[in-house]
Structure 1
Amino acid sequence: MDTLQNTALTRALTELPGPLPARGVIHIVIPHTDRFTVVGNHLAQHAGLSTVAVGLAVRIQSLPQGTEIGIKALAARFPEGEKLIAAALRELEAHGYLRRAVTNLPNGRIVTRTVFCNQPTALLRPRVGAARPQRPPAPPQAPALPDVQQEQAPEAPAPQDHAPFVALVPPPTAPRQPSPPLPQPRELTAELDRAATALLSDLRRHAHQLVLSENDIRQLAPAVAAWLERDTHPDTVRHTLTNDLPQPLRHPAKLLKHRLTVLLPPPLPGADDLAAPARPRVVVTPFQTCDGCERAFRAPTPGHCRDCRNAHSPAQAAAA
């Protein structure tokens, strides 16, 4: 394999046009046909951004629309820790690549959108066809987002030139939100504890990154027992814990704790919960045959119909 790679590299070097430089990097550029993201040199060679921030920006830019890019979500996906990711996000915010836009919807609700712009300086250029009054030039400031509110609700009052923003990353001195507790079973029986411990100890056979210490297994076993107690198949639990792991995985116990907590399924409904609701019983008054005229009428008990009762009432009153 190494020989084939060296031969292909030598052939590619001979096909490069012009003389090769005596020192420094030599680029062999093979055009991408699929699964690629265009990154500008203004980001790749940004003098004010750290290498971590540039790399994180490239990864965010390659994610599909709607992907969560909070600190914890990125830490679970990529090998960098939360502190390093938080610092890199602050750098990207400071240079305009990352913003959170607060937008008023036509129904009166206020939503916050996380926005990544691949060319923040382009937002400073005047938009084609935008009718804006002439204003004196001002020094460049942080780029503003397009008027999202005006595009969604034309009847609303015209927004200001700059959409309001809130900080995406809390400052280092901000109090940290407490982590949600691990799920606990209603009753940790010896059978559940044995099955949960065996499942956690066996994970490294299915994903070599998930090597857990005995202490980690003791802490995570009750959470796995809670899944099993809710009639979750062990294969389902194993797939949830081993699927789509970040590469490389630096803190396997933390990742498993997060997945066991936030992905806990609800208990299975019982047979009574799945049964159709009982329809209300309708009481039907039966038909009776009148003892006087033998006409049918509805009544709870046998007797006379209304006409016979009315006809007999004056006679009964006179006899009395």
Structure 2
Amino acid sequence: MDTQQSTALTRALAEIPGPLPARGVIHIVIPHADRFTIVGNHLAQHPDLSCTAVGIAVRIQSLPQGIEVGIKALAARCREGEKRIAAALRELEAFGYLRRVRDRLPSGRFITRTVFCNHPTALVHPRRPAAPQRPAAPAPHPASAPALAQVPTSAPAPAPAPAPGPASAPPPEPDMSAPPPVPPPPVLSAPPAPLFVPLVPPPTAPKPPPAPLPRPNEPTPELDRAATALLSDLRRHAPQFTLSETDIRQLAPGVAAWLERAAQPDAIRRILTTDLPHPLRHPAKLLKHRLTALLPPPLPGSHELTAPARPRIAVTPFQTCDGCDRVFRSPTPGHCRDCREHRAHRSEATRTAA
């Protein structure tokens, strides 16, 4: 049984179109013929709902109409306890997926109905139907011309028949084959922004262009020769990297950019050949990705490694007053402010007395 299951899984993986991802989940999609439920990504990838709430929502969505979905009923169907189920129902109710509506029966008794909406955003912002396009009117058949002429209109007075002659010509008939003018479609306002934007882009979303392979600022023959030798020597350390001459010429500028930034050859070889995916289908593409995404920055200069000098703050020293021994700040020794004012008053009083 184990061998059969392994063979079936290997066969299913081989039928997946395109190269398999190096890491992450791999989807084996088998179409459902019966017993399936459609779940939107707005619920499956909701950033604010817990996994328990998402699972309870999927369970409720898969049940038929009229099935009891209370806390005790769900606890009997699920492994989660009543507290976790109650918390999950509160989350779904907060985001509009679940609503409890009180309804009055014809007998006058009130009941509570549980309503589950699989897409609450569509209820808030419903989509407007597209304006129907009017098909172009087909050209009338010549046999239907008398029927068109039977439309009641105010017919003018009949004109006298012209005398037959060579110069007489029949009057031009109106062009009934031209289609009637089609009015322009009504201008619809821009649709409102969705309340929930999925974190994972759809598979059809355009992918950004890949970053270009780095190149040295000053290419020299020595850098090119060292880069070519390093790429050619990779197969000694990892047989998967048996590169062709075309791949080596295309990848040499990227290795030269690493060497220009003072990266050691052993470090470059270790980064390029460790932690390889299995199986390695495109070694040249892997080397290009690693040379581009893991490019180290240039080494800083000696002036960039020097710490900036702190600005020097001039501090006024303490001085001791010669008159009262009080401590004060002053660049030079002498008297404090009070002693200077007292000495000034004494000098002024002496001059006044004199």
CA 1:222–1:44 in structure 2 vs 1: closer, same or farther (change >3 Å)?
A: closer
Q: Which residue of 2 aligns with 1:104?
A: 47
Whole-angstrom CA distance in 1 between matches of 2:259 and 2:6: 49
Query: What are the superposed Cα offsets for residues 55-81 of structure 1, whole Å, 9 maximum, x if unpaired?
Result: 69xxxxxxxxxxxxxx88x44569xxx
Q: Which residue of 2 aligns with 1:297?
A: 328
Q: Which residue of 2 aligns with 1:64?
A: none
CA 1:194–1:98 in structure 2 vs 1: closer, same or farther (change >3 Å)?
A: farther
Q: Which residue of 2 aligns with 1:17?
A: none
Q: CA deviation at 1:309?
A: 0.8
CA 1:272–1:156 in structure 2 vs 1: closer, same or farther (change >3 Å)?
A: farther
Q: CA deviation at 1:209?
A: 2.1
- AA aligned opposite 1:131: G
Say whether 1:258 aligns with 2:292: no
- Given that 2:228 and 2:249 are in contact with CA atoms closer than 8 Å, whether structure 1 keeps it comes out as yes
- AA aligned opposite 1:304: H
Matches within 5 A, 1:1-320: 29=2, 44=9, 51-52=12-13, 74-76=20-22, 92=29, 101-105=44-48, 124=62, 131=70, 154=91, 157-158=94-95, 160=97, 162=118, 170-171=203-204, 175-269=206-300, 281-293=312-324, 295-318=326-349, 319=351
Aligned-partner SS, 1:209: helix
Q: CA deviation at 1:194?
A: 2.3
- AA aligned opposite 1:51: A
- Given that 1:241 and 1:259 are in contact with CA atoms closer than 8 Å, whether structure 2 keeps it comes out as yes
Whole-angstrom CA distance in 2 between matches of 1:268 and 1:125: 63
Aligned-partner SS, 2:268: helix
Query: What are the superposed Cα offsets for residues 100-150 of structure 1, whole Å, 9 maximum, x if unpaired?
Result: 6432338xxxxxx9xxx9xx99x9479xx963799xxxxxxxxxxxx9xx7
CA 1:131–1:233 in structure 2 vs 1: closer, same or farther (change >3 Å)?
A: farther
- AA aligned opposite 1:92: V
Q: CA RMSD in A?
A: 5.2
Whole-angstrom CA distance in 2 between matches of 1:283 and 1:244: 58
Whole-angstrom CA distance in 2 between matches of 1:273 and 1:218: 35
- Given that 2:22 and 2:278 are in contact with CA atoms closer than 8 Å, whether structure 1 keeps it comes out as no
- AA aligned opposite 2:12: T
- Given that 1:183 and 1:226 are in contact with CA atoms closer than 8 Å, whether structure 2 keeps it comes out as yes
Overall identity of the aligned pairs, in % = 50
Using the size of structure 2 for normalisation, the TM-score is 0.47
- Structure exhibiting the larger radius of gyration computed from Cα positions: 2
Q: Which runs of 5 or more residues in structure 1 are unaligned?
A: 1-26, 31-38, 57-70, 79-84, 107-112, 135-146
Q: CA deviation at 1:226?
A: 2.2
Q: Which runs of 5 or more residues in structure 2 are unaligned?
A: 74-83, 98-115, 120-195
Whole-angstrom CA distance in 1 between matches of 2:238 and 2:40: 36
CA 1:251–1:40 in structure 2 vs 1: closer, same or farther (change >3 Å)?
A: closer
Whole-angstrom CA distance in 1 between matches of 2:200 and 2:336: 83
Query: What are the superposed Cα offsets for residues 172-203 of structure 1, whole Å, 9 maximum, x if unpaired?
Result: xx644311111223333333322222111111
- Given that 1:220 and 1:257 are in contact with CA atoms closer than 8 Å, whether structure 2 keeps it comes out as yes
- AA aligned opposite 2:47: N
Using the size of structure 1 for normalisation, the TM-score is 0.52
Query: What are the superposed Cα offsets for residues 230-287 of structure 1, whole Å, 9 maximum, x if unpaired?
Result: 3322222112212233444332211111111122233445566666665554432112
CA 1:40–1:253 in structure 2 vs 1: closer, same or farther (change >3 Å)?
A: closer
- Structure with more relative contact order (C-alpha pairs < 8 Å, separation 6 or more): 1
Whole-angstrom CA distance in 2 between matches of 1:98 and 1:272: 60
Whole-angstrom CA distance in 2 between matches of 1:260 and 1:93: 38
Whole-angstrom CA distance in 2 between matches of 1:316 and 1:94: 111
Whole-angstrom CA distance in 1 between matches of 2:255 and 2:301: 22
- AA aligned opposite 2:270: H
Q: Which residue of 1 aligns with 2:160?
A: none
CA 1:193–1:295 in structure 2 vs 1: closer, same or farther (change >3 Å)?
A: same
Whole-angstrom CA distance in 2 between matches of 1:295 and 1:273: 48
- Given that 2:317 and 2:329 are in contact with CA atoms closer than 8 Å, whether structure 1 keeps it comes out as yes
May I ask how many residue pairs the two structures share in their alignment?
A: 228
Whole-angstrom CA distance in 2 between matches of 1:239 and 1:247: 17
